Structure 1
Amino acid sequence: TVAVSPEEPGTPLSALPAPVLEVTGPGGRALARFRPPRPDRETVLLLAEVYRRGDGWKLRALGQGYADGLAGLARDFGVD
């Protein structure tokens, strides 16, 4: 899982440059690019999941934001 969380807890992501995920291959060639909708009140953003399926790797774009920060993210993953 690729997550974006500002260094200063509680900082809304709207106060920072818009996040962009770019996956590059050999030689720097872009293989995938994901620009999620601009966050508003969210302080943490799940950007993508990277996982293996069979012999290959997969990338799933998410763009799921949390206004309640890492606590909201932890709750969704079942962490107390």
Structure 2
Amino acid sequence: MGEDLDRTRAVWRQAAQIVIDRITAGAYPPGSRVPSTLELATELGIASSTAQKAMAYLRREGWLRGESGIGTFVVDRPPAR
């Protein structure tokens, strides 16, 4: 699922948008585990700190929920777009 990122725009926002697009397309259905920060960083070819920022944003915005020691999951009812 490699993605081309525009390095002239905030990379963390683009990474967050990729995850949102996958959620809305059904690639990550409600309740499913999403890739870890490290997995996302590796897949997109970005720094792990950038992936962390994207994931933190998605949790704050109500797209994801974290479970300590288990992983990060798509919420049962993602926000309306």
Q: TM-score range by the shorter chain?
A: under 0.3
Which structure has greater helix proportion?
A: 2
Q: TM-score, normalised by structure 2?
A: 0.27
Q: TM-score, normalised by structure 1?
A: 0.28
- Which is greater in Rg? 1
Which structure has greater strand proportion?
A: 1
